[in-house]
Each structure stands twice: as C-alpha cells, then as structure tokens.
Amino acid sequence: MQPERVSELSDLLTRARSARAGKGNTVLVRSVSGMRCSTFLGEVAERVRRLGSMVLSTSCSPSDAQSQLGVVRQLVAAALEVANRDRATEDEEFLHGVLEGAGPFDHRLFEALREVFARGARRQPLVVVVDHIQWMDETSLRWFGYLVRHLNNLPVLLVLAYRTDETAVDRKLTDDISKRDQCFTLTLSPLSSHSVREVVEAAYSGQGCDDEFVQVCAETSRGRPSRLDKLLASLTADFVPPRASQIEQIRRCGARIEAEAAADRLLRQPVHLREVAEVATVLGEEGDCAVIADMLNLYGDAISGLIAELTPVGIFRETGAPGRYRFSSAELRSLIHRDMSADARRSLHMRTARRLNDLGAPLAQVAEHLLQADMSDDAWACSVLKEAADDALKTGDPKTCAKYARRVLRDRIPDEERAEVLWLLGRAEALFAPAAADRHLDEAVRLFSDPALQAGAIVERAHARVLRQGSAESALRPSRTVLAHVDHKAFAELGDSELRLSVQSLTHTVPSEGRAAALEALGGPTLSINLGVTPGERELLASIAGDLACRSEPCDVPLELVHRALAGERPSGSASMVLLLRCITILTWAGHLREAQRWADHMLTGALATDALFPRVIALCQRAKIAVRMGDLPVALAEAEQALALTTEHHEVKSCRAVAVTEVARARGAIGHYEGAVGLLQGLHDLPASTLGVRGMFRLHLGDLRGALADLMECGHRLEALGIVNPALSDWRSLAARAWKQLGNDKEARELAEAEVELARRWGDLAVTGRSLRSLGEVSSGAAAERAFAESVALLEQTDARLQLALSLVAAGQAHGRNGSLAQARRALHRGMLLAEESGARSLTTEARKSLLAAGGRLRRTPASGVPALTPTEHRVAMHAARGRTNRSIADLLHITPRTVEVHLTRVYGKLSIPGRTALADALGVNCAGSGNKRVKS
C-alpha cells in the first residue's frame, strides 16, 4: 500500500476505535474516479473486522437513484438478521413492510431504522460502509443525514464515500452531512511523485526510467492509481521505452484514457444530461449553449445549469465566456459521437441542420451536418448541399466541394439535377483527381439536355484531360482524344463569349505567317492591345502564346502575351491551372527562369493550400525542370523525387507518373547517373514525346548510338506531328546529330545541327541558342567548331543556365586541346570544372578534370570537408543563415526557393560536420553580435 493510503487508513482506524468506545461518528470519504476508493474501503472493512467490529457494507449504483430507500433496505435486512438473534423487535412487522416497499417514509420510520442499527451496535460495535453515495436515492440519503445526527453514545462508525466527478442525486444533502460536527471529511490524495516512480519502475523493471518520463506519467495520470496503471499498461504494450523522448506519446495515450473514462462516466448520468452532451457533440467541439437549449426546448438558465453539472464529470471545461460550452477534448467528443446509435446520430444531425438553417448559420456548417444525416428523398437537403458545394468551389476548396457533391449523388435525383451535381464534382476533381473528373464530366455531358451546360461540361472535361496528362506537350498541343466533342463552330452559336474563348484557347492555332498573322488572329492591332480583360481572353492569350512558342516564332511576342495573360483576373479552377502550366512552360523556354520559378512556386502554394495533388505534382515537376536549367541539380532531384513519391503514394495522380519519372531521370542523368536514368524510363509505357528525347540523350552518353537514334528520331517525329518545332522543349535534333556523327554520317549530322541552330536563333533565347551552337561545334571541325563553341560560351554567359555554360566551356576546352591551344584549353576547362562542381554534375566534373590534366593543368586538391569545401552558393547561404536569417528571407534575398536553401544547408551541415543551424556561426567564424537579426530556427 502506498504511503498516502497508509496515513489515510490510520486516520479511519482511529475513528473506528473511538466509535468502539461509544463515541459514534461519521467519515465522509471524497475522491475522484481512478483513485481506487472501493479498494481502500475494502481494506478499511477488513481492518475494522479484525478489531472485532461487525461490518455492514454496500455500494450504490446509478439504478439505485430510482429505488426509494433501496440502499437502506439492503442494510436493514442485514441489521435485522443480527438483531433477531437476540430477540424479536416490537416493530418487526412494521420494518418488514418497509423492506417490501410499503410506507410511510416518515419520522417514525427513520427512528425505527436507527433503533435497528442501535440494537445491533449494542451487541457488537458496528461499522457501516457505503460507497458511491452520489447515486443513493434521496430518501436513503435523508435517513443517513438523520443517522449522522443521532450516533451519540453508540459504538457505530458510519463511512460514506462519494466521487466528486460524478453527478449526485442531490449534492446539497451530501454537503449538509459534511457540515455536521459529528462528520469528519477525508479526501483521498493522489499519489506522490515518489509513489509514482515506484509504480513506473515496477512496470519497467530493470530498464531505468528517465526523470522526465516519470514526471509526465505523474502529470498525465494526475496521481490516480487506476489511471496510472492503465497508462503504463498501454505504454508497455506498445513497447514505449521509459525515455524523455517519449513525452508526447505519453500525453497522447493519457488523453485517450482520460477521454474514455469521461465517456464511461457520461453513460452513468441521467438521461437528460446525456441528451445535452449528445446534442453538443453533434453541434461541434465548442459552441453556443442557446442552440442546445433550442434543440431540447429548454428555456432560461436551465441549459447553463445542465452544462455546469457535466463540467465536474469531465465532459465540458470552463470557457470563461457565459453561454458557451467546450468539450474537455476533441477525442472525448468523438467517443460520445461514436457511442450514439447510428439512427439516433443521423436523426440528430438532420434536426441540427434544419435548426441551424432556421437560425441563419453559415451554409457550410449546415452542410456538414447533412453529410451525416439521412437525406433520402429530401429535396431541401440536396439543394443545401448543392449550394454549399458551389460555394466551396468558388472559395477555392475543391475537396470540400467534391465531398458535398458525392453525398448528393448517393441518393436518387432527377437526371438534369444529377448532371448539374456531376458537373460541380468534375470541376472540383479536375484539380486533384482528373481521372475521376473525366468520368464524371463525361456522364454529365450525356445527361445534360441544355446545349450550353453540355458545352461547358465538354470544355471542363478537356481541361481535366490536359491536367491528367500533366506534360507541356498536352497543355500546348491538346490531342484529339482530349478535344473530343470540342466543336468550335457549334459552340460559337451558343452566344456565350467566355465559353467561346475557352474553346478557342483549346483549339486555336496561329497561322504560320508569323507575328502579323498572330496579331490578326487576336482581332487586329487595336483589339489585340485591349484583349486580356476577361478570364476567357486571358486563356486565349496563353493559348496563342503557346502556339507561337511551339512554332519557334520570335519569343518577344509570346512573352508579351504571357505577361498579359498572367495579369489581372485569371480563370478559375482547371482552366487557371492549364493557363499557368502554359505560361510557366513558355517562360522557361524563353529563359525567364526566375519568373517561371516564381509562378511555379505560386502554383505549388495554391496546391498546398487546397490540398490539390495534381497541381502539386505538376508544380514540383516544373520546379525540377527549371532547377536543371539553372544548374542546381541536387535541388532538381529533390523536387522531382518528391513529385514521384506523390504519384506512388496516391492513386489519383498516377497518370502523372510518367512526367515525374521523366524529371527524376533528367536530374539523375544530368548528375551523371546515366544507367539509372535510362533504367527509370525503360519500363514506362505511353511516354510523352519529350521523354523519348531525354531517354535518347542518356542512351547517347552510354554509347548506345542506335538506341539513342531510335528514341530521338521518334521524339522528333511525334513533336513535329504536334506542330512543335521549338528546340527549347527538346534538343532531339542536336543529340541525333551527335549520334549520326559518331556513326560516320557527317552530312546528316550537320543538317540536323544547323536546323536546330536556325530554329533556336529564330526563337531568340540565348540559352537555347548557346546549347544548339555547342552541338553544332561538336559535329563540326577546325575553325568552324571553335567559332561555334566561342559563340555558345559568349551567349550562355549572359544567362542563368549555369550547367549549359559548364558543358560549353568543357567542350570548348577539349576542342582547344585537340587543336593544340593548351593555355586556352586549361582556362576553359578549369572554369567549366568549377561550374560543373557547383551545379552538382559529378560526371561532367570528372570529365573536365581528366581533360584539364591531359592539357597540362594542375589541380588543387579539393577539400572534402570544412569551410573550403563549400561552393560559393553554399557559403553565401550558410553565412546568411549563421547571421539569423530564415530560409524564406534567404530565398527572397538570393532569388531562389526556400526548398533550394534547405538543400544547400543540408549539404553545408554535412561538409562542416555540424548538427544544424545553431552551430553554423561557430563553424564559419561569424560574429553575430550586433547583427540586428535574431536567429530563427527554420
């Protein structure tokens, strides 16, 4: 027995001895659930029995509250048996009538009952132990109050115990007993920290328990023995070690046990109190008591009193605001909701929805209740959910919209109404499950009888199909399957200008005559300046810009159109995602990488805010592609692998897997893992055209010339069939030229390389042109090759394409070495090697180092660790972090993404052999005093 109980037991035994001496008295034992009061009372009964006292004991139950004098009858029956051993009582017949439930329950009865106990006590000292008197019926409780006042000169100890966190039949009567001079109140105290440690160490025998672990066990169980045992049983069953690191696990487990105990206590409460808790459970974790009152037809302060009764029980907690309720925990609310019958739950949710609607509650709040109600053939409920779904979609919450729409579709509704709900569902799903959106919109198209609504569903389905494929080719050049039933001429007759513009954005192409024709397609020079006011016009601008980019028309016009498309109000939903994908692609092709990166970040932020997986995958792939072009390969690989993980974990984005795999392969191949990159792409089916170009590039690096040519020429064939000739998407021509060169077909190689240079010059992006010129140099020889390499380097130096510049420098250095210009070779190779190393292109770094050594260059040993091992970018990022800047502020300062900062810092920690950010200042020798920036852990 714990020391706390020894002391309390000693106090009770002292009272028992006093009672044996004829000084009758009462002990009122107060405790809370989990203190093992019943065990304690059993120990008391056993000890006083050993002292020679007769013990009468019983325990009340919730049902006793409805049985008048029920508890007293149990005790009187036992007392009469003892008394009759001596002689019969003159009131025996009267008392037996009481035992059978006959009245009257008056003063005479109370005196007769007391006499029964008095005669028994005169024969042998008597101890009466009654547990759980909070459930004792009122008449019995009044008699015990009478008995407490008439124990003088009787060898009787009366022990009454009750739980303060249970609802009492009449708390006032219990309080009256406690105030009597003859009554001593004993409150069972919780276990001390020392006792808790003993219990914990016994449960974890021989393992050694951390002080923090023991302390949190004590706090979580509140020193209640029963709760502590349950907590330790759960922790040991889950093999949770007694370590300080497990504190959160202890708290979660303790919260669950506390919630389960409170839910059990609620089941023992009167029906009217359970009704209050159940209505509150349906209404929410916290809310207005007036709504509960309204639901239960209560008035005045009645509801506040009921809430107050349930607070000590542990169902509610104090809110500090009058007229408000709040559950003790979300888990408790969930348990109460679970314990309700399914029919009662559905009925109560429907009642709540209607009442909240009458009270003018927000539409979403009403809809949440309808989701859990029985809506069969209820037109009102269906209309509310449809309206709520439409509102959710308009406010940028597609998943909630889909949730409401699916609930409506579970019931039988007319076809036209079903088509409208399917349209809503499809528009929402296009942002996170385009495959499902395609199916639902297809059904909506078949059910709609209104041509305008049918046309809108067809266009929405086309947008969903574009996103489902997730590639730049699909966005810029939708295929026939994507555009099925999108008939521009038929839709033009509907008179909906925005719908007509959306259709144009999907089907419109710019005549090949170039800029003048493009402006003409916009409606003439005057209209073209003003076009872009409405969302539909912005869709069309992005479409025309994409068409011009695919044709490799000069990039200044597409860029102007992209900037106008992104300005002002854009279309909502899937149309906006298609517009963003088009614009980011064109900005990337045109070398506006920082701007493209910002819009990709914008797409990702929006996707995370709405939990939309498809835009998230697409944005990550775009960020990876941009990072490769900027020569930041570790970041590119991290972004691409994150996208690939999403397509693996979530079935709804599986259709984007090929795009994600392509970006992972692109990043790995650029690093130098050619075999791994080809292996990733080898098992995929229905590869996008540009993906074939990526696989062909790495096959070429591995020396598989025939396989590379097959992929590259098929890539070119597919892209040309789509009308995409811009080398910014794929450099299949220059790669095929290198393959033909190695196979000995110099003429074909030269023609393909020159064709790509011409298209690149026409497009006008310096990075694309520099890359094409490098390929031309590689298939040329002599002065022509040197001129091509020199121009390539000169152009790439003006761009952010760090990796492409490294490639051109290494190629130029190798050419100089072959021509005998060793000094020039060494300069180019050394610079190319440093850029390749900073980009993370390991294979290129190795190649440059070997060529540099062959050209007579000397290599300074590159440190593997420490500050000298940091690249310039890593050093800049580390210095800013050491001075207290957050990842976000560093990203804004250096015009990179927070994810890029995170990747750089991870590499810095490894090279400096430090655990994290807090050790940066010391490792770099940075004095942060007076910097004015407080360090913030990111």
pLDDT digits (tens, 9 = 90+) for 574-584: 888 899 999 99
Bigger pLDDT: 838 or 129?
129
| CA separation, residue 914 to residues 239, 330, 610 (Å) | 32, 40, 37
Amino acid at 55: V
Question: Which residues face 163 on adjacent strands?
Answer: 31
Which region among 184-198, 338-352, 679-693 has the lowest average model confidence (pLDDT)? 679-693
SS3 content of the chain, % helix, strand, coil (to 5): 70, 5, 25
Question: Which residues face 184 on adjacent strands?
Answer: 27
CA dihedral 62, 63, 64, 68 (to 10 degrees): 140
Q: Is 43 helix (H, G, I), strand (E, B) or coil?
A: helix
Q: What integer best gives the mean pLDDT of the chain? A: 86
Alpha helices (H) along 84-170: 92-99, 107-123, 138-149
What average pLDDT score do residues 208-237 get?
Answer: 93
Give the model confidence (pLDDT) of 785-842 as tens digits.
Answer: 989 999 999 999 999 898 999 999 999 999 998 888 899 999 999 999 989 988 889 9
**Quick one: which of 745, 748, 757 has its CA closest to 784?**
757
Query: What span, in angstroms and rounded, lies between the C-alpha atoms of 498 and 515?
Result: 25
Query: What span, in angstroms and rounded, lies between the C-alpha atoms of 310 and 140?
Result: 24
Report whether 427 contacts 460 (CB < 8 A): yes
Stated length of the chain:
938
pLDDT of residue 938: 35
pLDDT of residue 527: 37
**Quick one: which of 871, 448, 456, 296 has its CA closest to 634?**
871
CB count in 10 Å sphere of residue 172? 8
Q: What are phi and psi of 286, to 5 degrees?
A: -150, 155
Burial of 762 (C-beta count, 10 Å sphere; 0-12/13-18/19+): middle
pLDDT of residue 204: 92
Tell me the HSE value of 202 on the side-chain side, using a 13 A CA sphere: 9
pLDDT of residue 895: 65
**104: preceding bond cis by omega (within 30 degrees):** yes
Backbone Cα Rg of the chain: 41
pLDDT of residue 530: 57
Give the model confidence (pLDDT) of 463-486 as tens digits.
Answer: 888 888 888 888 888 887 777 777
Report whether 384 contacts 370 (CB < 8 A): yes
CA dihedral 504, 505, 507, 512 (to 10 degrees): 100
Query: What span, in angstroms and rounded, lies between the C-alpha atoms of 215 and 210?
Result: 9
Place of tokens 């015990």: 144
pLDDT of residue 934: 39
pLDDT of residue 593: 93
| CA separation, residue 908 to residues 368, 760, 837 (Å) | 48, 38, 15
Give the model confidence (pLDDT) of 87-102 as tens digits.
Answer: 444 455 555 555 555 5
pLDDT of residue 609: 82
In the chain, DSSP finds a helix count (H) and a strand count (E) of 48, 7
Burial of 649 (C-beta count, 10 Å sphere; 0-12/13-18/19+): exposed
Q: What are phi and psi of 132, to 5 degrees?
A: 60, 50
Q: Which two tokens stand for residue 432?
A: 């996170």
Q: Which two tokens stand for residue 855?
A: 């050209």
| CA separation, residue 102 to residues 69, 70, 98 (Å) | 10, 12, 5
Q: Which two tokens stand for residue 833?
A: 């090697």
CA angle 478, 483, 485 (to 5 degrees): 175
pLDDT of residue 100: 57
Query: What span, in angstroms and rounded, lies between the C-alpha atoms of 251 and 353?
Result: 35
Which region among 273-287, 761-775, 856-870 has the lowest average model confidence (pLDDT)? 856-870
Residue 520 pLDDT grade (very low, low, confident, very high; cuts 50, 70, 90): low
Report whether 203 contacts 47 (CB < 8 A): no
What average pLDDT score do residues 588-598 get?
Answer: 93
Give the model confidence (pLDDT) of 893-935 as tens digits.
Answer: 776 777 778 888 888 888 888 888 888 888 887 665 444 343 3
Burial of 492 (C-beta count, 10 Å sphere; 0-12/13-18/19+): middle
Query: What span, in angstroms and rounded, lies between the C-alpha atoms of 684 and 658?
Result: 7
Query: What span, in angstroms and rounded, lies between the C-alpha atoms of 476 and 233?
Result: 61
DSSP line for 846-883: HHHHHHHHHTT---PPPPSSSGGGS-HHHHHHHHHHHT
Give the model confidence (pLDDT) of 615-637 as tens digits.
Answer: 889 999 999 999 999 998 988 99
Query: What span, in angstroms and rounded, lies between the C-alpha atoms of 182 and 150?
Result: 9
What average pLDDT score do residues 696-725 get?
Answer: 93
**Quick one: which of 35, 96, 101 has its CA closest to 67?**
101
H or E element at residue 185: strand 183-187
What average pLDDT score do residues 362-384 get?
Answer: 88
- The maximal CA–CA distance of the chain, rounded, in angstroms, is 136
Query: What span, in angstroms and rounded, lies between the C-alpha atoms of 224 and 203?
Result: 16
What average pLDDT score do residues 598-603 get?
Answer: 91
Q: Residues 820, 823, 827, 833: is their CA dihedral positive or negative?
A: positive
pLDDT of residue 829: 92
Question: Which residues face 246 on adjacent strands?
Answer: none
Query: What span, in angstroms and rounded, lies between the C-alpha atoms of 138 and 270?
Result: 15
> Running DSSP on this structure, what letter comes out for residue 327?
B
Q: Which two tokens stand for residue 572?
A: 């909502």
Place of tokens 């605001």: 321
Report whether 452 contacts 493 (CB < 8 A): no
Burial of 651 (C-beta count, 10 Å sphere; 0-12/13-18/19+): exposed
pLDDT of residue 42: 92
Which residues, including other chains, have CB under 8 Å from residue 752's CB and lie 6 or more apart?
A: 733, 734, 736, 737, 740
Which residues, including other chains, have CB under 8 Å from residue 926's CB and lie 6 or more apart?
A: 879, 882, 883, 920
Residue 128 pLDDT grade (very low, low, confident, very high; cuts 50, 70, 90): very high
What average pLDDT score do residues 439-455 get?
Answer: 88
Place of tokens 């094409």: 772
Which residues, including other chains, have CB under 8 Å from residue 126's CB and lie 6 or more apart?
A: 53, 54, 55, 56, 117, 120, 155, 156, 157
Alpha helices (H) along 268-394: 271-283, 289-296, 302-310, 330-339, 342-358, 363-370, 379-394
H or E element at residue 215: helix 211-221
> Running DSSP on this structure, what letter comes out for residue 653?
G
> Running DSSP on this structure, what letter comes out for residue 65?
G
Question: Integer distance in angstroms from the first to the last C-alpha of the chain?
Answer: 50
pLDDT of residue 508: 65
Tell me the HSE value of 683 on the side-chain side, using a 13 A CA sphere: 5
For β-strands 286-288 and 324-326, DSSP reports them as antiparallel
Query: What span, in angstroms and rounded, lies between the C-alpha atoms of 540 and 575?
Result: 11
> Running DSSP on this structure, what letter comes out for residue 62?
G
Instruction: Report pTM.
Output: 0.69
Above pLDDT 90, what percent of the chain? 43
Burial pattern 7-26, b for ≥16 Cβ within 10 A else e, equals: ebbeebbebbeebbeebbbb
Query: What span, in angstroms and rounded, lies between the C-alpha atoms of 797 and 791?
Result: 10
pLDDT of residue 510: 44
Query: What span, in angstroms and rounded, lies between the C-alpha atoms of 513 and 520?
Result: 10
Report whether 1 contacts 225 (CB < 8 A): no
